[in-house]
Chains A and B, each alone.
Chain A
Amino acid sequence: MKNGNEKLHIPKIEKGIVIDHIPVGMALKVASFLNLDAKVEEPCGITTIGINYDSKKMGNKDLIKVENRNLSQKELDSLSIMAPGASIKRIENYTVIEKINIKIPEVIENLICCNNPRCISNNERGLTTKFLTVTHEPLILKCHFCERTYNQDEIKLL
């Protein structure tokens, strides 16, 4: 029961995005993937990372808050694979103005590499990879070309 003494571990941000419900241990990989350690916009956006928070939904979670930043559709698609179940909130004036529940697309192009060295996608100049989502839970993706299937642990981003 809350008694008002709980601290906010991460302060609210005025404008930017919150990436919530990241599976524990994935926050640093997500931050690296999104280049959050680089200077991407003026004025500089502060990135705050929280690891191993309590979560009613997941038991434990990681969390990232990024000032002055939006995410492209490609980044959202990548996040859906790197951090399944994550949710995105867009913030303005310290208020949540949009919640985005990212979902793994049914067709994923140019994001994941096929681990099969004999696949034509690893042997044809100019060919972009293409995967189809077989099931969302558990996550199973299938290479459109060689038909190999991959579970969450086997997926490698390009």
Chain B
Amino acid sequence: MNFNGKDIISIVDMSRQEIDHILEVAQMIEKMPRNEQLKILPGRILALLFFEPSTRTRLSFDTAFNMLGGRTMGLSDVEVSSIKKGETLHDTIKTVEQYADAIVLRHNHDGAARLAADAACVPVINAGDGSNQHPTQTLLDLYTIKKIRGSIDNFDIALIGDLKYGRTVHSLVTALKMYNNIKMFFVSPPNLKMPEYILRELDEHKVKYSEHESMEEIVSLIDILYMTRIQQERFPDPAEYEKVKESYILNNTVLYKARKNLKVLHPLPRVVEIDKEVDDTPFAYYFQQARNGVPARQAILSLVLGGIN
């Protein structure tokens, strides 16, 4: 299995074996002493191109690459770049690849990362393209589930909130359908349901799923609760956002009937959808989940840049 020079654009491109290998490498790196990690990618340069706001993804990529011995540079505000002058994404990528060994891209349009991968001769890693995919988030989510449960087969998961525009849930569901005996519960307002094209793929893979509008009716049936924010920035119509923005609020009352081993995950940022009182319960696992972003991204970067075979 050779990742050297490979782009990481979509979970759709990856096999279960490849995902499992990345998670094993993440585990291996996490156990290495810091000074050994620095020897994996010394002197390499990573471009971080973020056309949309980010805290966790950007900072964890930055931290991950620095811990591997490399240096980062890039854009976090397109207002100060030539994008403002009308430069195409294609030309931006062709320019940036002259300065870096790999590119991490977050963009507001679906498919932007694929365009970048087609244009660039260096590896491109998708840090989120519109409502489409967020593969590195999925890899850290899977790494988290593996740490919680020991494996990624045989469990029940609810995905709650913005399932229509949520790229994290689209990527996660795309990955989970490769694993065995997973039952999915999709909980959303009626106008934010999981898109048809994803449900079609689940049907083709004979994955068991059901759709609901109420969290309360499924909370006792699940091992993992994956909460998502209703994303204001994805709504074409602000009035529609206002109608649904507080559709789901997870609190200790809702969790009263939950299984003892339930873990609550959230890609963050959260707004109102998880009450702060949940943070102090054994159910809360979202900050540990964020921490896992570093080894997961270290694994990806090490593999695509040939630091680890």
Identity of the chain A residue whose Cβ is nearest the Cβ of B170 in the assembled complex? A147
Interface digits, A115-158 against B, CB 8 Å rule (1 contact, 0 not)?
01011110111110000000000000001111111000000000
Query: In the complex, what residues of A have CB within 8 A of residue B10's CB?
Result: 147
- B residues 227-246 near A (Cβ < 8 Å) are none
Identity of the chain B residue whose Cβ is nearest the Cβ of A151 in the assembled complex? B200
B108, B111, B129: the one within 8 Å of A121 (CB) = B111
C-alpha gap A148/B200 in the complex (Å): 11
Chain A nearest CB, measured from B270 CB (Å): 24
Given contacts A120-B89, A126-B90, contact A149 B115 (CB under 8 A): no
24 contacts between A and B (CB under 8 A): A116-B110, A118-B110, A119-B109, A120-B107, A120-B110, A120-B114, A120-B115, A121-B111, A123-B109, A124-B88, A124-B90, A124-B109, A124-B115, A127-B90, A143-B111, A144-B111, A144-B114, A145-B110, A146-B114, A146-B132, A147-B10, A147-B12, A147-B110, A149-B197
Q: Is the CB of A118 within 8 A of B109?
A: yes
* Interface contact tally, CB-CB below 8 A: 55
Query: In the complex, what residues of A have CB within 8 A of residue B130's CB?
Result: 118, 146
Query: In the complex, what residues of A have CB within 8 A of residue B197's CB?
Result: 148-149
C-alpha gap A147/B89 in the complex (Å): 19
Q: Is the CB of A120 within 8 A of B88?
A: no
The secondary-structure label for the interface of chain B is mixed
Query: In the complex, what residues of B have CB within 8 A of residue A125's CB?
Result: 88
Extra pairs beyond A118-B108, A145-B112, A149-B197 (10, CB < 8 Å): A119-B111, A120-B107, A120-B112, A124-B109, A144-B114, A145-B111, A146-B114, A146-B129, A147-B10, A147-B133
Chain A nearest CB, measured from B217 CB (Å): 30
Q: Is the CB of B109 within 8 A of A120?
A: yes
Chain A nearest CB, measured from B194 CB (Å): 14
Q: Is the CB of B111 within 8 A of A120?
A: yes
Indicate whether B57 reaches chain A with its CB closer than 8 angstroms: no
B107, B108, B115: the one within 8 Å of A127 (CB) = B115
Query: In the complex, what residues of A have CB within 8 A of residue B12's CB?
Result: 147
